[in-house]
């Protein structure tokens, strides 16, 4: 009987395996304005073939400073106007 109990404990001990699971979560956020200085008031902010190095257009135009509005003038020129107020 002692042999059976000792054998059962030894088999049980060798059958137990520790499992460790590690989960990591990666988040990527892209913000166009983060790498680009907003265009100053009365500056060009969009238009055909117009680009600003390091900036990304949003809806075909660039962000204007201080809450200004990038306004369509013609297909080749959009201009920043100051925020109303």
52-83 pLDDT, tens per residue?
988 888 888 999 999 999 999 999 999 999 99
Q: What is the pTM of this model?
A: 0.56
pLDDT of residue 46: 96
Q: What is the pLDDT of residues 14-60, one digit of tens each?
A: 555 555 666 667 654 444 445 789 999 999 999 999 999 888 888 88
Token look-up 């059976």 returns 4
The yes-or-no verdict on residue 85 having pLDDT over 70 is: yes
Distance between CA atoms of residues 10 and 60, nearest Å: 72
CA 77 to chain centroid, in Å, comes to 29
* Dihedral of the alpha carbons of 66, 52, 46, 64, in degrees to the nearest 10: 0
């Amino acid at each position: 009987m002692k042999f059976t109990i000792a054998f059962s404990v030894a088999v049980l001990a060798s059958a137990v395996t520790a499992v460790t699971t590690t989960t990591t979560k990666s988040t990527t956020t892209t913000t166009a304005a983060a790498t680009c200085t907003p265009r100053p008031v009365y500056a060009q902010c969009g238009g055909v073939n117009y680009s600003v190095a390091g900036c990304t257009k949003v809806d075909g135009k660039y962000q204007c400073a201080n809450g200004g509005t990038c306004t369509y003038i013609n297909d080749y020129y959009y201009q920043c106007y100051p925020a109303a107020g």
